[in-house]
Chain A
């Protein structure tokens, strides 16, 4: 698949302070890359560099094959960017702003109004299209910010914390939109909510103190999350010796409230055998939960290991 973003050895210094150091990665078409990191890790700096708002101290960025420093106009043609604060002229109406953005991105005159309508429709802005941006809520302003980033149907979409300030319903809508866009575009989004990454991204990248410490696809990450244990609760007290004798079971730990935690070998998952045993012994299975390391756990382990 086509490589849309190729960032090589990006570093950025603010005076002596190093915001990001030797960051390299690529983004291909059809990927939704989640950019994770604690506050001040360099997420926004990286995004600003990728969008051409900030020049890197060293390193280079290629967007759709064009070098962002040498051919900025060509590179930016295939770029849509939502900064951490949506860049909105508050004294314009939604429609006027989107019209202006469409013009700025060089959409041919005849296609502008249909592009504006499409962007409004995708971001759920139809009902407010004639209202002044200043009078709209934060959630709507965020959506206008997304609308201006996708109006010209760019190959690469960079979203800096796109769901901040939205209510749960809107968050779901925006995630669906990102998923839909992600099929034929390349998307980078930064966030510090880990569930968001799990919900929409195909790849995840963790940045900490200016350096990339993890880049993996979500399915690899899900494997990493497998801890190899299940939590079981039954109505009657089970005979632990029978359970521990089952193939694949490594150890059993009793927990409060009639729960038992069973650790098993990752290569030999005994869940089916456990269920059968419990059923046939009549202990009445009430709950069976595979225990996963949360994204938070991985995140914390990784960031602490690097401290």
Chain B
């Protein structure tokens, strides 16, 4: 356990040694701040009308849900760039043997790397969440909705990171790893689009779609189906990564 933390802490600190982590956080925050302000503006315009309707959309629906949906899409683009280096670059720089010849197991290495990067993404989620929290100074928020959105985004990044990590153990070049991760994630994201056409609906595709589960949780309907989907998704890629790392010793 302490080894996992050691590796995770090193990974997290190393991310901030390169400009990449800073850039990612800055870009993410700037774009989302812009979206956030636009949504707040929209709410300001609509508020007089909404006030007259009973049970109409609230601040949470107009500002928070779109903010987190957009955050999900931007993270879909950004996560592959962060995960691509995890194992792949260590292998290229031949630093992997430092970990492989130390008394740590493959599970320690994979979990450590995973948690290190997840730390950065959770930091990003925290920074995004500061924006809707700032609304508390001048208004009332639907706390349940906010928590549901934060949970949805956290589950989303855990699964994105796991996918990226696995691709990073597979690929021999970081760009290949990034492209592969992006491909898988985007495919799973758009898998549900065919569901709009009634006769082409497929229950399997619907279940596999990340977007559907993400939106379900976002809407505040926190069901074990959606949560277990994300947990299963993450766990599968983690197991695959550990397995792949064990194979590293066999093949080469």
A residues sitting closer than 8 Å to B (CB atoms) are: 14, 48, 51-55, 72-74, 76-77, 79, 81, 83, 85, 87-92, 100-101, 103-106, 148
Contact = CB atoms under 8 A, between A and B. Distances in A.
B252 interface: yes
Which 10 A-B residue pairs are closest in the complex by CB-CB distance? A87-B98, A76-B103, A104-B102, A81-B101, A85-B94, A55-B249, A87-B95, A51-B101, A103-B6, A73-B103
Given A88-B95, A89-B95, A104-B3, A54 B249 contact: yes
Given A53-B97, A85-B94, 15 more contacts: A53-B101, A54-B249, A55-B250, A73-B104, A76-B101, A83-B101, A87-B94, A89-B14, A91-B14, A91-B17, A92-B14, A101-B98, A104-B7, A104-B98, A104-B102
Nearest to A100: B10
Contact of A105 (B17, B100, B103): B103
Contacts of B105: 72-73
A76 B102 contact: yes
Interface string B73-96: 000000000000000000001111
Contacts of B7: 104
A86 to B, nearest CB: 8
Interface string B103-147: 111000000000000000000000000000000000000000000
A83 B249 contact: no
B18 interface: yes
B94 A83 contact: yes
Interface of B: 3, 6-7, 10, 14, 17-18, 93-105, 249-250, 252
Contacts, number: 66
Contacts of B94: 83, 85, 87
Which of A48, A52, A79, A87 has the most C-beta atoms of chain B within 10 angstroms of its own C-beta?
A87
A105 B104 CA distance: 8
B102 A105 contact: yes
Given A77-B103, A100-B6, A100-B10, A14 B17 contact: no
B64 to A, nearest CB: 38
Nearest to A106: B103
Given A100-B6, A103-B6, A104-B6, A87 B97 contact: yes
A148 B98 contact: yes
Contacts of B93: 87, 90
